[in-house]
C-alpha cells in the first residue's frame, strides 16, 4: 500500500452582512467570508491538502475563480469533485485533520455538523475527520476579524 500526506491552507476576507459558510454549515454572524464560490475556507484548505497529496496541483488550478461555473457554488461540490479527481488516480482518503483560526463565532457547537458534511462528501467516517478551532488572540488581521484562516492535513492511500 502506498500512502501520502498533504497540507492545505486557505484564507478569506471577512465582510459585514455576508454569509459565513464553514464546513458546509452556514454560521450566524455579522460577518462572513468573501470569495468567488461560497468562500468556505475549511473546505478549500481540505481540497488543497487532498490535491497536494495526490500531486494534482491546487484548488485554483482545478476551480479557477475566473470561471463562472464555480461562482457562488457550494464548496461541498468542489470537495466532491476533488474526490473524483483523486479516485481517477486510484487514491482514497484515510483521514483529515483541520484547524480553523478566527475570533468569532465559536466553532465548537458546529463541528459535528461540519464532520457530517465532509464525511458525506468524501465517503468516509466522521471518525476520520478532525476539526479544531483557535483564535489569534486578537492579533493581526484574524484578531481584528478582517479574515479567517484554515489549515488542513490529510492522509491518502492507494492499493
Residue 68 has pLDDT above 90, yes or no: no
The residues with which 150 forms a beta bridge, in sequence order, are 10, 100
82 is in an annotated binding site: no
Q: Which contacts (CB < 8 Å, 24+ apart) does range 140-144 have?
A: 142/101, 142/102, 142/103, 143/103
At residue 67, the pLDDT reads 87
135 is in an annotated binding site: yes
58 is in an annotated binding site: yes
Reported confidence tier of residue 61, pLDDT bands at 50, 70, 90 = very high
* Average pLDDT of span 81-106: 98
9 is in an annotated binding site: no
Reported confidence tier of residue 53, pLDDT bands at 50, 70, 90 = very high
128 is in an annotated binding site: no
66 is in an annotated binding site: yes
- Is 0.95 topped by the overall pTM? yes
Reported confidence tier of residue 130, pLDDT bands at 50, 70, 90 = very high
130 is in an annotated binding site: no
36 is in an annotated binding site: yes
Residue 72 has pLDDT above 90, yes or no: no
10 is in an annotated binding site: yes
* Average pLDDT of span 4-15: 98
Dihedral (CA of 85, 1, 42, 142) sign: negative
Sheet containing strand 2-16, edge to edge, reads: 31-34, 2-16, 147-158, 91-101, 129-134
44 is in an annotated binding site: yes
Q: Topology of domain 2-158, per CATH?
A: 60s Ribosomal Protein L30; Chain: A; (3.30.1330)
* Average pLDDT of span 17-42: 96
Amino acid at each position: 500500500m502506498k500512502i501520502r500526506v498533504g497540507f492545505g491552507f486557505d484564507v478569506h476576507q471577512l465582510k459585514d452582512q455576508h454569509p459565513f459558510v464553514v464546513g458546509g454549515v452556514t454560521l450566524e454572524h455579522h460577518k462572513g467570508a468573501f470569495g468567488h464560490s461560497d468562500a468556505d475556507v475549511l473546505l478549500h484548505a481540505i481540497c488543497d491538502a487532498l490535491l497536494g497529496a495526490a500531486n494534482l496541483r491546487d484548488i485554483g488550478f482545478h476551480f479557477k475563480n475566473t470561471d463562472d461555473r464555480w461562482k457562488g457554488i457550494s464548496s461541498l461540490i468542489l470537495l466532491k469533485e476533488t474526490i473524483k479527481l483523486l479516485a481517477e488516480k486510484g487514491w482514497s482518503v484515510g483521514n483529515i485533520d483541520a484547524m480553523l483560526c478566527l475570533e468569532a463565532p465559536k466553532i465548537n457547537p458546529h463541528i459535528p455538523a461540519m464532520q457530517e458534511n465532509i464525511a458525506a462528501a468524501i465517503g468516509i467516517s466522521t471518525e476520520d475527520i478532525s476539526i479544531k478551532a483557535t483564535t489569534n488572540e486578537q492579533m493581526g488581521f484574524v484578531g481584528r476579524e478582517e479574515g479567517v484562516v484554515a489549515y488542513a492535513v490529510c492522509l491518502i492511500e492507494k492499493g
